[in-house]
Structure 1
Amino acid sequence: MWDFVQTHLKQLPVIKVTNGYPQELLNIVERDPRRIYDRQASWFIRHGAMVPISTPDFLAELPVRFREMDGMVFLPEQLVEYEKARSRIPQVKQAELFVSDERSAIDWLTNFLLKRPSTRSEIHPEYIPQIGSAKRKGEIIPELDQLLEDNFLKYDGTGEVPSQIHSYLSTNHKDLRGLDKSSPALVAKAKDRWYVPDPNKAQDLEKKREKALLKEFETYKSFTGRKIKESRLEVLRAGFRAAWAAKDYQTIISIANKLPEETLQEDEKLLTLYDMALTRTEEN
C-alpha cells in the first residue's frame, strides 16, 4: 500500500507556479492527504482487493511516512525541492475550487483556514458565494456549521493559542507579534477561530466523522421508496466502502439501483464499487 503511495507521489508535479508577476506557488490538489487516500483505495478496489486501512488510520500514518507542507504530501527529496521554491516564492496560491459537493466544500474550507484561521462570521460571507451553479444535482451539502464541526477545530479560549492560529495572527497583526501563546491579548483575538487540526487530532476528528457518516448511511439502507432523489455523496462513499469491506455487495447494489443515474455515473468511487460488487455477485 505504501509502495503505491510512494509511486503515486513520484508521478505528481512537485512545483506549480502562476504565470505573470509576481509569481505564486500553486497548491497541488492531488497532494491533499484525503485525495491520496481516495486514489489508493480506488486502486485496491479496482484490483478486487480489500482496502487495507481506514481513512483515519491512513491520515495518521501518512505524515509519519512522508512529509507534509502547506497541506500537501511529499517524498523527502520532493520536499527539499519544494522548500527551495518556497524560499524564492513565499506566497502560496490555493487552487481555485468550485464547491460542487461535500468533498469540495471541505477542500475549500481547508484551503481557506490553512491560510486564514477565522471565526464563523468571517468564514460565512466568503464561503456562501462558492456554492452556486457548480453544485451537483441531487447532492446534499451539509450546512457550514456542520462542516466546521465535523472537520475542523475551534479554539475556545482555553489553554495556549494553537500554533496554526498563533502563526497567522503574529504574521498579520503587528501588535500581536512576539507574544506568548498564553498572552491575554493573543487569546482574546484567537478565541472562536476555526483552524485545520494537526495530524493527530485530525485522526480523532476523522473517526468521529466516519462514524457519523455510517450512521446516516443506515437511513439509505432502510429507505423503502423507489428512488433516493437527494443524497450526501460522502455518506454514500463511506457506506459503500464499509459494505465492500464487509463483503456486503448486495447493499451496494441495492442502494446504487435507487440512486439517480447521474449520481452514480458522475462519481468514479461509487461507480467502481458498484461495478466490483456486481462482478463479485455474479462470480458467486
Structure 2
Amino acid sequence: AKAHPDARIRAFLLFMVEQAIWGLSVLNRYQPIQHGRPGGSQVNRQLTGVYYVASQHAECSPWYNLSGKLDRLVKAFRELKVNADKTAISTGTATRLPLPDDSVDYIFTDPPFGENIYYADLNFLVESWHRVTTDAKPEAIIDKFKKKALPEYQHLMQRCFAEYHRVLKPGRWMTVVFSNSKAAVWNAIQVALQQAGFVVAEVTALDKQQGSYRQVTSTTAVKQDLVISAYKPNGGLEQRFAERGACADSAWDFVQMHLKQLSVSKIRNGRLEFIVERDPRRIFDRMVSWFVRHNAVVPLSSQEFQEGLRQRFPERDGMVFLPEQVAEYDRKRAQVAQAPQMELFVCDERSAIDWLQNFLKRRPSTYQEIHPEFTTQLGAGWKKHEAKPELMALLENNFLKYDGEGEVPSQIHAYLSSNFKDLRGLEKTDPRLIAKAKDRWYVPDPNKAQDLEKKREKMLLKEFQTYLGFTGRRLKEFRLEVLRAGFKDAWSKKDYQTIISVAKKIPDEALQEDEKLLLWYDQALTRTESVL
C-alpha cells in the first residue's frame, strides 16, 4: 500500500488497511452465533471503544478481510460526489486552526464527551502500523490516569471553543453535539462555550435512530445526543457595549439581539412546545453570563430585569418575544388547542421558588393548600448537598400573604372571581370575598417584588458571611441560593479571592454541577491568574 506511486490511490489503500487492523488482531472475538442464529462472518468482531481480548478469538484470512473492505469502499467512493476544489480535509488541533479571523460561515463540532471514549489510546494500534504516535497531553478528555480531571477538560474545551469563536463570522452559528449523562460535564461544556464568547440559543435532542455500543449496552449512558445551537454575537453589539459600558441600555441591547436569534415556535406531534430559552429567568441568566464574560458588573437585579422585560417586550404563554415576532407566534398558537407548558423539576431552593411562583400565579392558596402539593415535588431529584428549605420560609421571603385587612389584592380577586360562581362581580372590599381570600399567599406585583428581593438578598448575604467564616475542611450542607448571592456580590466588588476561598469549602461536585457557581468561580480564577 505504501509503495504505490499514485498519492490518491496510496491514501485509499492505506485507509482500506486501517479499517482491517483491529479485525486482524487478537481483539477479534469468535462469535459462533450472530443475530440469534448460528453462523455469520467472523470479520471485524472486535468490541468498539475499548481494548478487550476475549477468551476465544477468531483469526480471519487477511485477503478475505481486505477484499470485502475493498468492495465496500469502492462502492462508497463511487457513489460519493465531491467537488475536490471546494473541499478541504486537515488533521490537527482545534486550538490552532489555520484559518483567518471571521472567515467561517458555520461550524459543526462533535467534541469528546468527558471520559466516554479515550480516543488517543484507541488509536494506538493503527498509529503503530503507521509508525506515528499522538501527543495525548493536550487531548480534551477526562482521564484520571493522566491526571486530567474535569477542570482540565473544561479548560481544553474552552481553548477549542475560543478558536472556533475567532474564525467564525459575527452573527453566525455553531452546532455542538454532546452526549454525557453527568451534569458536571454538561455544565463544563456550557461554561466553556460562554467563556469563549458564544451565546447558547437552543438545546435539543438528536435521535440518531441507532445508538452507539455504549448507548445500547450501558444503563447510565444517555440514549440520545444533545445538540447545542450557539451563536457568535454580531460586531455591532460588541462595539456598542465598548462605547456604553456596563449600563442598563447594554443589557437591553443584548436581550434585543438574543431574542432575535431564538426560534419563534416549535411544534412536535401537533403540540406547541415551550421554548425554554424564551423563559424570562433563562434570558436573565444569559444576560448575566454575557456581562460576567466581559468582566463587567451586572447592571440590573433580577426583579428590575423582569419588570423591564414586561415593559419592553410582549409575553405569550410565559415566553418573551420581540414585537415583530408575536404575530407569527399567535398564528401558530391559534392552530393548537393547548398552550405550551414548561416542565419544572424541583431539585434545589431556586427551582422550589420557581415552582411556587408558577403554582401561586395560577392559584393563590393558603399554606394548608400549598403544603401537600409542594411536598410531592421534593423527591429523589433533590441535590445531594443542598439544604432543604422550610415551605414557610420560602413563602415569607418570596411571596405575600393577604391578612384580611384592606382590599383583596387583584391577583387573588381575579382567581376567586374566575373559579367561584358565588364570588363573581363582588367588590374587593366585600366581606364574603375577604373571608375567602384571607391567609392566601400570592405573587406580589413588581414594585413589592423588588422590595422583597432586596430583603431576601440581605438575608442571603448575611448567611454567606457564615460560610466565609467557616473554619472546617468542607461544608457538608449549604444553600445554593446563598452561594449564588454571595458570589454575585463578591464579583460586583471585584473580590475574586472571596469567591475562590468559599468555593474551596464546598464539594467539587456541588460546584461543577451548578452552572452559575461554576461561571463565577471560573471567571474569578481567570481574573486572579491574569493579575499574577
Pairwise same-fold verdict (TM > 0.5): yes
Contact kept, 8 Å, 1:171 with 1:177, in 2: the verdict is yes
Distance, in Å, in 1 between the alignment partners of 2:258 and 2:323 is 14
1:242 aligns with 2:489: yes
The RMSD of aligned alpha carbons is: 2.3
1:164–1:78: structure 2 CA closer, same or farther, 3 Å change rule? farther
Distance, in Å, in 1 between the alignment partners of 2:413 and 2:329 is 24
Unaligned stretches of 5+ in structure 1? none
Q: Which amino acid aligns with 1:47?
A: H
Tell me which of 123, 129, 152 is aligned to 2:376.
129
Q: Which has the higher helix share?
A: 1
Contact kept, 8 Å, 1:56 with 1:207, in 2: the verdict is no
Contact kept, 8 Å, 2:385 with 2:476, in 1: the verdict is yes
- Show the counterpart of 2:53: none
1:43–1:234: structure 2 CA closer, same or farther, 3 Å change rule? same
Distance, in Å, in 1 between the alignment partners of 2:448 and 2:326 is 23
Contact kept, 8 Å, 2:303 with 2:446, in 1: the verdict is no
1:230 aligns with 2:230: no
- Show the counterpart of 2:498: 251
- Show the counterpart of 1:218: 465
Distance, in Å, in 2 between the alignment partners of 1:224 and 1:211 is 23
Q: Secondary structure at the match of 2:376?
A: helix
1:4 aligns with 2:251: no
- Report the alpha carbon displacement of residue 69 of structure 1 after superposing the two structures with TM: 5.0
- Show the counterpart of 1:160: 407
Q: Secondary structure at the match of 1:130?
A: coil
Distance, in Å, in 1 between the alignment partners of 2:318 and 2:452 is 17
Q: Secondary structure at the match of 1:238?
A: helix
1:211–1:130: structure 2 CA closer, same or farther, 3 Å change rule? same
Contact kept, 8 Å, 1:94 with 1:111, in 2: the verdict is no
1:216–1:69: structure 2 CA closer, same or farther, 3 Å change rule? farther
The aligned runs of 1:74-113 (5 Å cut-off) are 74-82=321-329, 92=339, 94-113=341-360
Q: Which has the higher strand share?
A: 2
Q: Secondary structure at the match of 1:126?
A: helix
Distance, in Å, in 2 between the alignment partners of 1:85 and 1:173 is 32
1:227-264, Cα deviation, whole Å (9 max, x unpaired):
01111111111100110110101000001111101111
Distance, in Å, in 2 between the alignment partners of 1:67 and 1:159 is 32
Distance, in Å, in 2 between the alignment partners of 1:249 and 1:104 is 27
Contact kept, 8 Å, 2:365 with 2:440, in 1: the verdict is yes
Q: Which amino acid aligns with 1:48?
A: N
1:106-165, Cα deviation, whole Å (9 max, x unpaired):
111111111111111101100101011110110113111111111111111122222211
Unaligned stretches of 5+ in structure 2? 1-250
- Report the alpha carbon displacement of residue 83 of structure 1 after superposing the two structures with TM: 5.2
- Show the counterpart of 1:141: 388
Distance, in Å, in 2 between the alignment partners of 1:155 and 1:83 is 35
1:137–1:252: structure 2 CA closer, same or farther, 3 Å change rule? same
The aligned runs of 1:50-69 (5 Å cut-off) are 50-68=297-315
1:197 aligns with 2:444: yes
Distance, in Å, in 1 between the alignment partners of 2:483 and 2:514 is 10
- Report the alpha carbon displacement of residue 84 of structure 1 after superposing the two structures with TM: 5.6
Contact kept, 8 Å, 2:397 with 2:452, in 1: the verdict is yes
Q: Which amino acid aligns with 1:249?
A: Y
- Count of aligned pairs between the two proteins: 281
Q: Secondary structure at the match of 1:158?
A: coil
Distance, in Å, in 2 between the alignment partners of 1:244 and 1:266 is 20
1:176 aligns with 2:176: no
Q: Secondary structure at the match of 2:473?
A: coil
Tell me which structure has the larger Cα radius of gyration: 2
Distance, in Å, in 1 between the alignment partners of 2:317 and 2:447 is 17
Q: Which amino acid aligns with 2:440?
A: R
1:162–1:72: structure 2 CA closer, same or farther, 3 Å change rule? farther
- Report the alpha carbon displacement of residue 93 of structure 1 after superposing the two structures with TM: 5.5
Contact kept, 8 Å, 2:317 with 2:340, in 1: the verdict is no
- Report the alpha carbon displacement of residue 78 of structure 1 after superposing the two structures with TM: 3.6
Distance, in Å, in 1 between the alignment partners of 2:435 and 2:332 is 35
Distance, in Å, in 2 between the alignment partners of 1:135 and 1:177 is 41
- Show the counterpart of 2:72: none
Distance, in Å, in 1 between the alignment partners of 2:415 and 2:334 is 18
1:45 aligns with 2:295: no
Contact kept, 8 Å, 2:402 with 2:409, in 1: the verdict is yes
Does 86-95 or 126-135 show the bigger shift? 86-95
1:154-205, Cα deviation, whole Å (9 max, x unpaired):
1111222222111111111111111112211111111111111222221111
